Amino acid sequence: MEKKSLLLIMMIAGMATLFAAAGIMAGTTAPDVIELNSPEYAKHKKGIVKLTHKKHVEEYKAGCGECHHDDKGKPLALKAGDDVQRCIECHKIPSERPKGKGAPKLSKKQRLEYHAEALHYNCKGCHKNFNRRTKTKAAPTTCAKCHPKK
Q: Report the b/e string of 123-132 with b at 16+ CB within 10 A.
A: beebbeebee
Is residue 147 part of an annotated ligand binding site? Answer: yes
Whether residue 10 has pLDDT greater than 80: no
Q: Is position 90 annotated in a ligand binding site?
A: yes
Q: In this model, does residue 23 exceed pLDDT 80?
A: no
Residues of the chain with pLDDT > 90, as a percent, come to 75
Separation in Å, CA 117 to CA 8, 88, 124: 57, 11, 10
Going by C-alpha positions, the residue among 87, 80, 88 that lies closest to residue 31 is 80
Higher pLDDT, 12 or 105: 105
Check whether 127 is labelled as a binding-site residue.
yes
Residue 56, annotated as binding a ligand: yes
List Cβ neighbours of 41 (8 Å cut-off, separation of 6 or more): 94, 95, 115
pLDDT of residue 18: 44
109 vs 93: CA distance, rounded Å: 13
pLDDT reported for residue 30? 86
CA–CA dist 28, 23 (Å, integer): 11
The mean pLDDT value of the chain amounts to 87
pLDDT at 64 over 80: yes
Which of the pair, 24 or 94, is modelled with greater confidence? 94
CATH topology for 32-146 is Cytochrome C3 (3.90.10)
Cβ-in-10-Å burial (0-12, 13-18, 19+) of 33 comes to: exposed
Q: Does 87 appear as a known binding residue?
A: no
Confidence category of residue 88, pLDDT binned at 50, 70, 90: very high
So where are the chain's domains? Answer: 32-146
Q: Give the C-alpha distances (Å, rounded to integers) separating 99 from 11, 21, 73, 93, 110.
A: 64, 49, 24, 15, 13
- Give the mean pLDDT of 123-144: 96
Instruction: From 126, 137, 136, 123, select the one nearest 49 (Cα to Cα).
Output: 123
- The pLDDT of 5-16, averaged and rounded, is 57
